[in-house]
Structure formats: structure tokens, C-alpha cells
Chain A
């Protein structure tokens, strides 16, 4: 009988031996005293290879006394992980900052050191710094990159169907109609399973042309405008009007499905962000980019430029000197040149011009010409309370596409939610 316990005994013994070897391995690796290792916590898992093989080596070459560990956490878990670690004093030395409200809450909780004294900060305009300033107006994160929103289109399909790149909403709709009438391709690769995609890549991309970009956004913040104003309703209506051109079963299609559909050459247009240039061109399709069309010919054009990543200094870091050296470097043109070259689809936020080697990146950057820039609508101040306008927009836009909720009703619901807590700033 007792011999039958042998398997358990083996598990215990094996566990103990591997456990011991594991512990001893874990304690090693402090290295020689001269080199300081700092950890860079961020949510860009896809970029790990690029940072580790190109960006960080460039820094380490210039600063051999510092080593940087790239610690990426998938974006869904990022806030939870960073908050738990920083609250308990175990956070990474430098931390990638979410833009606007979430970061403002982090600054308020004392997660970051003030970066006012860093010289590289002067390489950025106040607009570039705005997404990461505290209540005191000081910068808390070094701006790394912004992203742009637009529409990728399959040039081969456009040529085959004799379509031209749309500049007005009327032309856009007429293109979509023609693709649908032809029946061979899905006009618009867009699914509603991921609410954020509806908000960031569609409404906040075409919407600024309706609500005049910053005029509309800042109007909501200072309380002179309401989400129920005709401009905002018209934007949501234009969003709702795209419904006939979506793929079948769009209600349960996620963002990843959409990009697969597009890169397999089965969809003509995909509303997306510049961050996806690598993925969009991965299968070698002939691809172009166009900006959100204006409402009427001759209108001023607005383009969504979203501050995406900044990097802040953990207030509880034990390696502040080295971390500051790294942050200073992240603010230089040297870094920006390497970064936009190696990580295409992300744009430098500095005042100095940097060239883009990636063709699509350059095309995206060209969309800025003649356009007034504006960030996503709901992330600045309007999402600092409950219900956060941003999350609320995701869910409401899903109901517009899936359940046929009218644009008016949708905007009314959002405004009611906002009114329940938001006090306009002066």
C-alpha cells in the first residue's frame, strides 16, 4: 500500500530540488557595481523586439554605465499592474504614461516626480506636454510619441473598381456604395465587438470635422457646448450611416479580425490608427492612406492626433539619477530619429522635424499638412469621474450600430451621464 505513495514522494522531492535550484538562480545577476540597471515599464508588447534590438542599445552605447530592461505588460493589464506595483513601492523606475485623465489621477496620487528641471523638456511645446501635466501645470512625463487616425485603403481594389480617394463625406459614401454594389469586397472593415475601436478609430476620426476639432472639444470641457448640440449629433449620425457597409456579423468581430480581413485583401477600407502601418502592410498589399473626409468641399479639415505615450519617473525609484539620464535621452532628437525609424506609425512630438523612412508613416505625416490637429474627444477631463465619458462612448456607440439606437438618443445618454458628475472648468 505505502509504495503507492511513491509518485507523491517523487513530486515532493522533485519540487524541493528544482525549488532550491530556482531560488539560487534567482538571487544572482546583480552584476558589477558600476552599472545601474533601470526598468522601463510600458504596455507596448509588440515593440519589445524593436526596443531591445535597436533603441536601447543606442542608449546603452552612449551611456555604458546604465542598462535598461524593457518590461512590457499587455495593455489590458497595464493600469492594474502599474498601480499595484507603484502603490506598494515595487514599480519600474521609469513608467510609460497613459494620456490625460488616468495619468492626472496617477500624478495626484504621487506616482511621478516633477520633470520641470529636465533640459529635454524644452524640446516640446506646451501642447505636446499637455496630456501629461499635473494640476500645477508642470510636466510629469517626457512625451515619446503621438499617433494619427485615418483610413487605410487597398489601392488594387480602388483601381479595379475605378474609385478615387475621397475628400468629402459625400465622396466617401459614394465610394462605399460602389464597393458594396460590386459585391466582391467588404467596403469597410469594421466590427463593433471592440467599443474602443468605434470611438477612437471612427467617431473621433470623422467627428472633429463636424465639431470643428478643438472648438468642439474645449467647448465641452468649459461647458459652453453640449454633446446634444447639432454638430455632435451630426457626427454620431455620420458614424451610424456607415452601418450598411460593415461585414456580416460585424457585431461580434473584433479589431484583430478586421485587420486580418483587410490584409487578406477581402476589404477595401479600414478605419484605423497610424500604429498599425506595420500590420497593414505585412502581407505586401499595395496600400494607401487617406484622412477623415471633410463634411463639405472647402471646409477646414481636422485630423486626430493623439498623444499616446509619455514616460515618467517613478517617485519611489531607487535609481533616479540613472533614470533621469534615460529620460533626458528620450527627449532628444537623437532618440526621436531612431524611434520613428524603428517603430513606424508613431510620430515624434518634439519641435525638431524628423524624417520618416517608412513610406506609410510618411504618408500619414503628410496628412497633417493643411489640417488642424485635435486629440480624441473624451479623454481629457471628461473621463475623470463616473461614468467616464470615454467608456460610456464605447458602449453607446455599440448600441447605435447593434441595436439601432438613434444618434440623438445616444448623445442624450452621454450628456446625461456627463451632467451627473462633471463640473465645467472655467
Chain B
């Protein structure tokens, strides 16, 4: 056993460099921006107004309308990722670990991951062209209809990022010790049973990790919507998610004056939502998984 003093010393040596960079270039700048949300600087000066901006955000009919709309859209954006990306990613991972694959395994793996390496500028261009009513293969204006625009963009995002859950789950499946698999195979389990009864419970923690990362990434999402539809994403704000609402408010646009205080308020609320949900998830679900494993 290592002495407590040594532990602290080793901890300091190893953790401090990472901690310093993280605090100086991420935590502190963010904190000093969050402070803006407690001030009103619209009339030249800067007056402390406590939660005034938060009250304004949730009571002003126009702004709160946009906020709830964006929140709903973010939930939908996340839900589509969850429903499509995780099952398909899992299927891809399972196929990639299939015993029948040999040398082709690496080729498939790379091909399936390639979209994740692209920038959203390419992704936006590709799909806009393919589903364009004038030049593309679909005559229905998918991106111009308030009902289909957001699902369409979500699926573009899924197309791009599906390689990430795939590779996570794939490595998790590879990491399952062979003796466990062999033992149940000898017990006469079919491949289907083998996967769901033996392998899946073993990769469940990875599955949970990906779920929560997908949640964080989609709620902080911004790039793909912005690349396709700009900072006031239409039609009629039907693709406006929390990230674009924050950007538009905080930085303004060619026709809208920036509101730093309100922008910081929106960002703080987004962060709070993510933090609370993630914390709740870890407390409730992770505990359940642990008891299940036991």
C-alpha cells in the first residue's frame, strides 16, 4: 500500500498539468462568460440584476417561445440519434466481429468510419445536393418542410457520426474474453442467444456511455444545422436547436443585434439541463446496471 502523503504527491504530479490547461483555457473563460448572465449591459453600463436575465428568458413570450421550440427540437435531434445511431451502430459492430470476416474486416471498418472524419461542410454539401429537388434524387422538399426538415438533418448527422458508436461498441465486443464466449458456445447457445445473453450485458456499460455522450453531443450540437441552414435555421425556425439559438443570440447575425447577456443566460441554461440530466442518469441508471451485473 502506498502512503497517503505519497498518494497526494503522485496525484499532484500527474494531474496538475492536465488540470492547469483545462482550468485556464476552458473552465475560467466559461465562468467569466457565465457571469455575464447575471448582468444587464444593454445600456452602455453593466448592472448586476441577479436572475433578471433568466426571468426574462422564461417570461418574454417571444424569447421563451424560441427557447422552448429549440429545446423541443434538441430533444427530437437527440431522440433520432438514439433511435437510429445506437441500434445500427451496434449491428455494424456485431457484423464486424463476425467470425466469417477475415482480411476484409479492416477494410469494412475503415469504410464505415470514413464519414465521421469529414467536416460538416462536406456533409452538408453532399446531402443538400443528393436530396435537392432540382438536381438530386428526391423531388420532395425534405429540408423545406417544417415536419421533415429536422428529421432529415438529424439523419445526415447520424450518417456522419455513426462510426463513433460503432467503433466504441466494436472495441467493447472485441474485449470480451474468449473463454466466456467459448463456455456458453459449448453449452449449446445459438449465436443469437450468445449475443443477447452473454455479449450484450458485458458491453452494456459501453452502451450507457455512448448514450450519454450522444446526449451531450446532440444537446451541445450546432455545426451541422449551422452549416446547412445558418444561424436562424428555417423553415420558420423548425430546425432551430439550442446551439443555434445560443449562437444567434450571443453573436447576433447580419440583421440581428447581439445580446451577450441573454446569450450567456441561454448557454448557462443549456449547460444546467445537460448537467442535471447526466447526473440523474449516472445516479439512477448506472446503479441499476451495477445491480443487474451482480
Identify the A interface with B (CB < 8 A): 75-76, 78-80, 83-84, 98, 101-102, 105, 108, 191-193, 195-196, 247-254, 257, 260-261, 378-379, 383-388, 390-391, 394-396, 398-399, 402-403, 417, 420
Q: Mark B121-149, 1 if CB is under 8 A from A, else 0.
A: 00000001001111100011111111001
In the complex, residue of chain A having the shortest beta-carbon distance to the beta carbon of B44? A108
How far apart sit A257 and B132, CA to CA, in the bound complex (Å)?
9
Q: Chain B residues with Cβ under 8 A from A195's Cβ?
A: 232, 234-235
Main secondary structure on A side of the interface with B: helix
Q: Is the CB of A102 within 8 A of B252?
A: yes
Q: Mark B55-71, 1 if CB is under 8 A from A, else 0.
A: 00000111100000000
Q: Mark B36-72, 1 if CB is under 8 A from A, else 0.
A: 0000000010000000000000001111000000000
Q: Is the CB of A98 within 8 A of B254?
A: yes
Q: Chain B residues with Cβ under 8 A from A395's Cβ?
A: 232, 234-237
How far apart sit A379 and B257, CA to CA, in the bound complex (Å)?
11
Q: Is the CB of A79 within 8 A of B143?
A: no
How far apart sit A78 and B258, CA to CA, in the bound complex (Å)?
12
State whether the Cβ of B231 lies closer than 8 Å to any Cβ in chain A.
yes
Q: Is the CB of A193 within 8 A of B144?
A: yes
Q: Chain A residues with Cβ under 8 A from B215's Cβ?
A: none
Q: Chain A residues with Cβ under 8 A from B252's Cβ?
A: 79-80, 83, 102, 105
How far apart sit A348 and B40, CA to CA, in the bound complex (Å)?
40
Q: Mark B216-250, 1 if CB is under 8 A from A, else 0.
A: 00000000001001111011110000000001001
State whether the Cβ of B259 lies closer than 8 Å to any Cβ in chain A.
yes
Q: Chain B residues with Cβ under 8 A from A402's Cβ?
A: 144-146, 235-236
State whether the Cβ of B251 lies closer than 8 Å to any Cβ in chain A.
yes
Q: Is the CB of B232 within 8 A of A249?
A: no
How far apart sit A391 and B254, CA to CA, in the bound complex (Å)?
9
Question: A83-B252, A102-B256 are contacts. A249–B231 as well, Cβ < 8 Å?
Answer: no
Question: A252-B132, A399-B236 are contacts. A384–B255 as well, Cβ < 8 Å?
Answer: no
A-B contact pairs, 5 of them (CB 8 A): A195-B235, A249-B133, A383-B257, A395-B237, A399-B235
Q: Is the CB of A192 within 8 A of B255?
A: no
Among B134, B230, B250, B256, point to the contact of A76 (Cβ < 8 A).
B230
CB distance from A414 to the nearest CB of B (A): 12
CB distance from A259 to the nearest CB of B (A): 12
How far apart sit A334 and B248, CA to CA, in the bound complex (Å)?
39
State whether the Cβ of B277 lies closer than 8 Å to any Cβ in chain A.
no
Among B131, B144, B254, point to the contact of A79 (Cβ < 8 A).
B254
CB distance from B88 to the nearest CB of A (A): 25
In the complex, residue of chain B having the shortest beta-carbon distance to the beta carbon of A84? B251
Q: Chain B residues with Cβ under 8 A from A390's Cβ?
A: 255-256
CB distance from B154 to the nearest CB of A (A): 16
Q: Is the CB of A75 within 8 A of B254?
A: yes
How far apart sit A252 and B146, CA to CA, in the bound complex (Å)?
10
In the complex, residue of chain B having the shortest beta-carbon distance to the beta carbon of A109? B44
Q: Chain A residues with Cβ under 8 A from B251's Cβ?
A: 79-80, 83-84
Q: Chain A residues with Cβ under 8 A from B231's Cβ?
A: 76
How far apart sit A145 and B178, CA to CA, in the bound complex (Å)?
72
Q: Chain A residues with Cβ under 8 A from B250's Cβ?
A: 80
How far apart sit A153 and B133, CA to CA, in the bound complex (Å)?
22
Q: Chain B residues with Cβ under 8 A from A252's Cβ?
A: 131-133, 141-145, 149
Question: A249-B139, A251-B141, A395-B237 are contacts. A384–B257 as well, Cβ < 8 Å?
Answer: yes
In the complex, residue of chain B having the shortest beta-carbon distance to the beta carbon of A254? B128
Q: Chain B residues with Cβ under 8 A from A80's Cβ?
A: 247, 250-252, 258
CB distance from B151 to the nearest CB of A (A): 13
Q: Is the CB of A250 within 8 A of B146?
A: no
Q: Is the CB of B133 within 8 A of A247?
A: yes
How far apart sit A253 and B134, CA to CA, in the bound complex (Å)?
8
Among B62, B131, B134, B234, point to the contact of A417 (Cβ < 8 A).
B62
A79-B258, A80-B250, A252-B133 known; 18 new pairs, CB 8 Å cut-off, are: A79-B254, A80-B247, A80-B251, A101-B257, A105-B257, A193-B144, A193-B229, A196-B255, A247-B134, A249-B140, A251-B141, A253-B133, A254-B128, A257-B134, A391-B232, A391-B255, A391-B256, A402-B235
CB distance from A314 to the nearest CB of B (A): 17
Q: Chain B residues with Cβ under 8 A from A378's Cβ?
A: 255
Among B134, B139, B149, B237, point to the contact of A261 (Cβ < 8 A).
B134
